[in-house]
Amino acid sequence: MTGAPTDPLSLFSVAGKVAIITGSSGAFGAVAAETLASAGAKLVLTAGKAKELAEIAAECRTRGAEVEEISGRPTSEAVCDAIVAKAVERFGRVDILVVASGKNDVAKIVDMAPERFLELMDANVTQSWLMSRAAGRQMLAQGEGGKIILMSSARGLLGHPAGYTAYCASKSAVDGITRALGCEWGPTGITVNAIAPTVFRSPLTAWMFGDDERATTTRAGFLARVPKGRLGEPADLSGPLLFLASRASDFYTGHILYADGGYTAG
């Protein structure tokens, strides 16, 4: 006997779990929201763009999910605490946190004002730290563990010559938070992991999937480094997200999961 479960698919169930997703109107946030909605989770969705937030909330409701909408970004301790408090008020607890909010700002270091660097670090690093702190405090009080999933990038591991000093620094910091919190909360049952994609289809990258000369040239150069030979699709993030949000990943914490088609392998 190996001790393997007789119903292994049940390990991936998030039915009835309460998930907070920040940045839920963005590319990864929307994937996370739709994936967890279809899997039976109850959702607290936050986003800075009211129209897009309403649209993703409506989509999740068509998939059968109960949804609480909160307009705004996790910009301060008070805001993050209020997001968690609203989740507890509506659903009684918090089981999953997905921090999908953030930004990119590309410029050569000599052309980037310090204020732009600090704004990007705040959006990607400080807000991830604050939301993890707020949700983690609630999970610790519940005493039943929990799942925290942060949004990293292959740029947290690899540099880029096109003006990514701020973005690379921010994602490296997210990786550091992930590893440190994985160690800090290891005994509590709270797992802390990050998903780190390369380029995948989104409104910001849609041009790279085109047939014009710029897209074709850029794509060819990038794909020369990707063993799978293609760019990412939203569905490529759904599986890792569900794994990290469910009991299937109970023994995994402090990990950076590269959803990159092998980009960081070679």
> In sequence order, which residues have a C-beta less than 8 Å from that of residue 52 and are 6 or more positions away?
25
Of 167, 252, 258, 263, the active-site residue reads: 167
Report the phi/psi class of residue 262: left, alpha or beta, with left for phi > 0 and alpha for psi in -120 to 50. Answer: left
C-alpha span between 195 and 165 (Å, rounded): 20
Q: DSSP of 170-198, one letter per residue?
A: HHHHHHHHHHHHHHHTGGGTEEEEEEEE-
Can 167 be counted among the known catalytic residues?
yes
For residues 132 and 255, give the distance between their C-alpha atoms in angstroms, rounded to a whole number.
Answer: 15
In angstroms, the CA 153 to CA 106 distance is 14
> What residues contact 57, with CB distance under 8 A and at least 6 apart?
24, 43, 45, 67, 69
Q: Looking at the annotation, which residues are catalytic? A: 167
